[in-house]
A and B are shown apart, each in its own frame.
Chain A
Amino acid sequence: MADIKFSEDTLALANKIIARYPEGKQKSALLPLLHLAQAEFDGWLSPATMQYVASLLQIQEVEVYEVASFYSMFNLKPVGKCLIEVCRTSSCWLRGANEIIEHLENKLGIKEGQTTPDGMFTLKTVECLGSCGSAPMMQIGAQYHENLSYEKVDGILDTCKAEGTRKTYLDKVVVDKY
């Protein structure tokens, strides 16, 4: 618990967000703050992290848990440095999502829902990410990877491994080329 504390910059941003809402409505900052916390504290929301966010908003820890557990982007268990989220819904399925998922499972030697032993990759299937016109697709951190082929997937995994860094939703990324 001792080391769960936002950096100065993040804390300043958190306070700026909290100030957006009318007096007494600070709980509105909960989702934005949980995003900041998840990105800063190892890609998941541990009980200690949730307790810290609760203290910032002066609400009960259970209120934070109740909300965090509702939303699919909040991880309540540790995940690999690169959380691979592959869309499996209709438009992506029509363009080969199942085969991409199979390819990822074979490449990584894990099943959907699992993490590689080196803690590098977690594979997750998700519902439509609003990229149906560039299917099949997957998201890693903030980055959308679209029009996937097996070769393209291999290249992305290699790059992730070479970089070795944790990817978060807050990363600054290359903006879409349509």
Chain B
Amino acid sequence: MGKKLLLEHDHVPGIQGYDVYRKNGGYASVEKAIKTMSPEALVEEVKKSGLRGRGGAGFPTGMKWSFLAKPEGVPRYLVCNADESEPGTFKDRYLMSRIPHILVEGMIASSFALGVNKAFIYIRGEYYYIVNILEKAIEEAYANGWLGTNILGTGYNLDLYVQVGAGAYICGEETALLESLEGKRGNPRIKPPFPAIAGLYGCPTVVNNVETLASVVPVINMGGDAYAQIGIGKSTGTKLISASGHINKPGVYEIEMGITVEDFIYSDEYCGGILNGKKLKAVVAGGSSVPVLPADKILNLANGEKRLMSYESLSDGGFGGGTMLGSGGFIVMDETTSIVENLFTFARFYHHESCGQCSPCREGTAWMEKILHKIVDGHGTMADIDLLWEIQAKIEGNTICPLGDAAAWPVASAIRHFRSEFEEYVSNPSGVKKNKHYDSVHNNVNV
């Protein structure tokens, strides 16, 4: 069994409630942080741990924290990004609904480290039922003296609130999130200034993912150096992976970074192999935004070594031959899957979610959906495939926020690795079998 830092107590009955959580070592990190450490020492500890943002970009958390501006007399904010809308990703939901206190605990310790007195959890609106779970946990934390005024008699004050979104993937982008939290449309801001200088209400703000903030708990408990020993190279610690698609055991798994992709897909501890004993065709390893890779490329590196579940190994090979860990949304496709149709669902998604501020993204996502629809429908031409390629190339790097790139990469990688499949749709539309995916055996077993 791999090391578990976040889900260690996942199966303890009652862990959702305060008493059981506390009995299992909960809130020790807050005690240690507030009573025995200075904010500066805490930031240092997080730096040493090598913890990287778990929201998708993998930016070093300690470094982000050290950029936070601290002008005299201006409040600072910590905002937890619980928008989780990247297709294939459902780990934050799992963590918040099962062990809500670990997020509350991580946010208290992090707020103390950052000198924050007011913090928010911005959660996607569809997770409304989790708002109730989090608010109950927060209430329990107040009742037990971990939140509010004069925490642990130290004079430190902190208020924590849950803010609910209302359906918009783009609000996961940190500046769009802040706009939304201010009660506006979720249009990303032009950077700079970065949130660390001018974020919520124009004040210095840190935005971190749910899993990042929860990981601060083990970092403080065990110390940064010990945390950095777990994992591999610059991919320290554990990572929650959301596994979905054609596998025997979909779900959320906490892995120690550095296990092989092959082990993750085929071992019974994790995905348990491909559904119905079929062959693996392709994997989208880090949520919809990252490049899709065919079976041989996701399992092995160009030099023949096995690819690992880590930031570095997944991106090995660059854009031509690699992918990214991203948010850890691991989507597995078996040999019957149409890459073209799957791509169409992504293109439709990005078109639906583009905020429309920049024309390359607004127009490009609309065109990509339209052309893919035409190809899937059997009316595509060879020129359409080239046009798709051109459009994605024009979006990349020409937009305010990274959603444009995120929309372009899946298209680029699908054409790069599976061009012959697109050509088949064009040259022999009636010969392409339209897959039905409803699987009465498994759907009924699941009931």
Contact = CB atoms under 8 A, between A and B. Distances in A.
8 contacts: A22-B201, A28-B181, A29-B183, A30-B183, A90-B349, A95-B437, A133-B250, A152-B447
Interface stretch (A4-12, A68-76, A109-117): A68-76
B126 A175 contact: no
A151 B447 contact: yes
Contacts of B252: 133, 178
Interface string B175-193: 0000011111110000000
Contacts of B446: 134, 147, 149
Nearest to A172: B132
A100 B331 contact: no
Contacts of A144: 129
Nearest to A148: B443
A94 B342 contact: yes
Given A28-B183, A31-B183, A151-B444, A130 B127 contact: yes
B185 A66 contact: yes
* Residue from the set A90, A96, A98, A139 with the largest chain B CB neighbour count within 10 Å: A90
Contact of B436 (A25, A35, A99, A143): A99
Given A94-B246, A95-B439, A175-B129, 9 more contacts: A20-B159, A28-B181, A71-B165, A74-B166, A93-B345, A129-B126, A132-B242, A152-B443, A176-B97
B346 interface: yes
A151 B118 CA distance: 47
Interface in B68-110: 75, 84-90, 92-94, 97-98
A127 interface: yes
Contacts of B163: 28, 31-32
Contacts of B133: 175
A97 B125 CA distance: 22
Interface string A84-114: 0000111101111111100000000000000
Nearest to B252: A133
Interface string A109-145: 0000000000000000011111111111001001110
Contacts of B127: 130
Interface in A149-171: 149-152, 169-171
Contacts of B88: 90-91, 128, 132
Interface in A51-81: 57, 66-67, 70-74
A133 B125 contact: no
Given A94-B337, A175-B133, A100 B438 contact: yes
Interface of A: 20, 22, 25, 27-32, 34-35, 57, 66-67, 70-74, 88-91, 93-100, 126-136, 139, 142-144, 147-152, 169-173, 175-176, 178
Contact of A31 (B161, B164, B250, B440): B164
A72 B93 contact: no
B126 A130 contact: yes
Contacts, number: 194
A11 B252 CA distance: 39
Which interface residue of A130, A144, A147, A178 has the most chain B CB atoms within 10 A?
A130
A96 B443 contact: yes
Nearest to B441: A149
Contacts of A151: 444, 447
Given A29-B183, A149-B447, A169-B128, A90 B353 contact: no
Interface in B320-379: 329, 331, 333, 337, 341-342, 345-346, 348-349, 352-353
Given A90-B345, A128-B88, A133-B90, A31 B166 contact: yes
The 3 lowest CB-CB distance pairs between A and B, nearest first, are: A96-B438, A99-B438, A71-B166
B125 A130 contact: no
A72 to B, nearest CB: 4
B175 to A, nearest CB: 15
Nearest to A31: B166
Nearest to A74: B166
Nearest to A134: B250
Nearest to B90: A130
Given A95-B245, A149-B443, A25 B201 contact: yes
A128 B87 contact: yes
Contacts of B288: 89-90, 128
Given A96-B437, A135-B250, A169-B125, A147 B87 contact: no
Contacts of B333: 94
A132 B89 contact: yes
B183 A67 contact: yes
